[in-house]
Amino acid sequence: MTDTLTPSTTPSTSAVPVYTVTQERRILTAIPGPRSVELQQRRLATVSGGVSSALPVYIATANGAIIVDVDGNQFIDLGAGIGVTTIGHTETSVVAAAVAQTQDFIHTLFTITPYEEYVRVCELLAKHTPGDFPKKSVLINSGAEAVENGVKIARKYTGRRAVAVLDHAYHGRTVLTMAMNYKAMPYATGYGPLASDVYHAPSSYPYHDGLSGADAAKRTIAYLEKVVGPTDLACLVVEPIQGEGGFMVPAEGYFTALQDWCTANGVVMIADEIQSGMARTGKYYASEHFGWTPDLVLTAKGIAGGMPLAAVTGRAEIMDASQPGGLGGTFGGNPVSCAAAIAVFESIENNDLLAEGARIEKTLRAGLGALKEKYDIIGDIRGRGAMIAIELVQPGTGDSSKEPHAAAVSSIAAYAAQNGVLLLTAGTYGNVLRFLPSLAVTDALLADALSVIDDAIAAL
């Protein structure tokens, strides 16, 4: 049996070891193992109960598409930190870039003494976000902070107050963003009062509403016009593929119709690409799948390979509406995170990672399609690239009632975890399994994971 950890060195920082992990599933103990159980007891004594974990195993190392816990168990990671380690855990060039930057300087604060790394990230965002018009960016720390800043910028540009979002949306846990979420529990329950002037419009959910993109857009627009009023509406914030909501992919033509309406009415349309951006879907940004060019694009999660970084990027005239000093923050655009982000962009280009997203989609759709033929609880398969989901329905109901089967999702995820596969659950009704592997995952690992899911469904 090969060793789990194999030391190597990065090309530019030979003194810094980087550990590669054998890309295989391996369970050595009960899950959680004894060391994880011990750490869980320490956690319960000192970590807020409001911070939950999907699986109480504690991670020692990770590489590629495999995470290894403190008991030596190896899991196929189909969550990638909820879409963060898109190009793989501890990708060599990202580690090298981050380490090299720490040896130069770690922090100065861009708004005090700027540095090239911040500028270069903004150049890359201008190049790769949708649209061939002049674009500018501001760098911040997290996805929720990107949403907050996107709304703030849109309000400043338009001079309007109202914010619209779509049903089934998720945008964060801050005071503003929890008001923008569709689900109250657990994100907003007990934390009120919520931010005002946030409106929830009906979305496109083809599996359930059966509407064309044009008809779904008419329904959304009717709500915006009657309930909000376009002259008060600063922005419409949408996820091209809804994440926590269950990877809903809208009907064709939906987003372009909404963008046309927003443009005609002076409303800033914002793409929340926090989970779907940075090559995850086989395009740099999921908006591209729909022929849609947003006014502003929000980036986070996968941009820096696991380092904290986020951005708002958009039309230069919108981004320049803010007065000097109105945007920024102490740690926004940290140089180490920026160095990592530059390496991520270079890795996507140098390793043709957009093609890897298409490969993963093909493999997952084929494997999940076979399971759908076998088990009638799989009602829908949807998504793009390495962002695929299955919606589970009660057995025997199929496409007739499409009654959610949340219990099956919980059971399958638990079975998978016990057998070395980390799965994420999602969906407004808790009945969606989402697949967010890194682009480093092999077809062999996907096949192995799918075999575990097959066994899990059979065991229901």
Annotate 46-103 with DSSP letters as a single string: HS-TTS--SS---EEEEEBTEEEETTS-EEEESSHHHHT-TT-BT-HHHHHHHHHHHH
Give the other-Cβ count within 10 Å of 45's Cβ. 7
- Widest CA span in the chain: 67
Would you state the pLDDT for residue 12? 43
Global pTM reads 0.94
Q: 226-253 burial by CB neighbour count: b if 16+ within 10 A, else e?
A: eebebeebbbbbbbbbbbbbbbbbbbeb
The structural domains of the chain, with segments of one domain joined by +, span: 34-90+353-459, 94-351
Query: How would you list the strands of the sheet with 310-315, edge to edge?
Result: 135-140, 310-315, 296-299, 268-272, 233-238, 162-166, 198-201
Q: What is the mean pLDDT of the chain?
A: 94
Mean predicted confidence (pLDDT) in 302-324: 98
Query: How confident is the model over 231-255, as pLDDT tens digits?
Result: 999 999 999 999 999 999 999 999 9
**CA triple 205-206-209, angle to 5 deg:** 75
The topology (CATH level 3) of 94-351 is Aspartate Aminotransferase; domain 2 (3.40.640)
Alpha-helix residue ranges (DSSP H) falling in 84-166: 92-104, 116-128, 143-158
44 by DSSP, 3-state: which? helix
Same fold, 34-90+353-459 and 94-351: no
Would you state the pLDDT for residue 401? 73
Residues 271/284, Cβ–Cβ less than 8 Å: no
Q: Which of 366, 378, 446, 436 is nearest to 412 (CA)?
A: 378
Residue 11: pLDDT over 80: no
Query: How confident is the model over 413-456, as pLDDT tens digits?
Result: 999 999 999 999 999 999 999 999 999 999 999 999 999 999 99
Amino acid at 26: R
pLDDT above 70 coverage of the chain, percent = 95
Residues 284/272, Cβ–Cβ less than 8 Å: no
Amino acid at 341: A
Confidence of residue 55 (pLDDT cuts 50, 70, 90): confident
CATH code that applies to domain 34-90+353-459 = 3.90.1150.10
- What's the chain's length in residues? 460
